[in-house]
Amino acid sequence: MVWRGWDNAEIYHRFVSEHRIYRRLNQRMVELADLVGARHVLDLACGTGATALACLRVLDMDADLTGVDASEEMVEVARANILDPRARFHVAPASGVHDVLDDRFDRALCNAAFWQFPAAGPVFESLARVLEPGARFVFNVPAERVEGERHAIHPFQIALARSLEARTGRRFDAGSLTRFTLDDDVRFTYTGVQRELMELMTIPAMIGPLADGLSNQDWDQAVLEARDRTDPDEEVQVPWMFFLFTFRGQAP
């Protein structure tokens, strides 16, 4: 699990606090989940609590929110930062939420995580055991994960790929992999600056798949080179897609 370790939890938490991108995605997710009147909300892959915070802002005082994440460290940071009595957090993989939760939920949200799950099927099966019939579930993925969607390859990503290629001799393909083909979707384009993508690349979980086989020093050099070739204030458009589901019934 690439999100284990205090480095990930603390650096991710700082990134989310300092940069707008995940806050904006979470805000949009909360709008689409329609939390008006919601009683029991599940935050799947809750991380350090950014989605939970966005939900708690609009939830009724007698509603509750349950965050679940596979990384103990991410959950610990969420527990330390969110003292709202309506919130509680558990450690479990997304495919095993039914093992740790007895409650039934009328909303579920999953921000910036779904494509990282090893398989979607077991996650839907687990969710079906904890969602009430009629419950709404919303998740999102970067548009580049969706077949037929346009790719956003930004100057910093290209510069980093070139620096890594020069060091490793490996080809870094910025092309997309098909992950989801679903009907009910909403497009949302985040507008920010290159600096955010640069900072994202200081989170170990983001670095892991790219830096495989590189020394720390080589990785740092590659990032510095890529930063030098990119304007941190240049505007970026980052397209995401949100998927909305209604659970019709529970698993047998």
Ligand X SMILES: C[S@@+](CC[C@H](N)C(=O)[O-])C[C@H]1O[C@@H](n2cnc3c(N)ncnc32)[C@H](O)[C@@H]1O
Determine the 3-state secondary structure of 24 from DSSP. Answer: helix
Question: Which of 113/236 has CB closer to ligand X?
Answer: 113
How far apart (Å, rounded) are the C-alpha atoms in residues 131 and 249? 8
Question: Which residue is nearest to ligand X, using beta carbons?
Answer: 47
Confirm if 150 and 239 have CB atoms less than 8 A apart: yes
**If binding is defined by CB under 6 A, does position 3 make contact with ligand X?**
yes
Query: Residue with structure tokens 């930063």?
Result: 227
Confirm if 174 and 153 have CB atoms less than 8 A apart: yes
**If binding is defined by CB under 6 A, does position 130 make contact with ligand X?**
no
Dump the DSSP string for 85-139. Answer: TTEEEEE--GGGHHHH--S-EEEEEE-S-GGGSS-HHHHHHHHHHHEEEEEEEEE
**If binding is defined by CB under 6 A, does position 247 make contact with ligand X?**
no
**Which two tokens mark 182?**
């679903």
Contacts of 72 (CB under 8 A, 6+ apart): 4, 91
CB of 179 to ligand X, least distance (A): 14
Q: Which of the residues 40 through 99 are near ligand X (CB under 6 A)? A: 45-47, 50-51, 69-71, 74, 93-94
Question: Which of 164/200 has CB closer to ligand X?
Answer: 200
CB of 126 to ligand X, least distance (A): 10
How far apart (Å, rounded) are the C-alpha atoms in residues 137 and 42? 9
Q: Where does this chain touch ligand X (CB under 6 A) — which range of 34-42, 105-113, 191-199, 215-223?
A: 105-113
**Which two tokens mark 119?**
């398989």
Question: Which of 73/149 has CB closer to ligand X?
Answer: 73
Q: Which of the residues 13 through 32 are near ligand X (CB under 6 A)? A: 16, 22, 26
Question: Which of 3/247 has CB closer to ligand X?
Answer: 3
Question: Which of 66/71 has CB closer to ligand X?
Answer: 71
Q: Which of the residues 200 through 229 are near ligand X (CB under 6 A)? A: none
- Name the site residues for ligand X (rule: CB under 6 A): 3, 16, 22, 26, 45-47, 50-51, 69-71, 74, 93-94, 111-113, 116-117
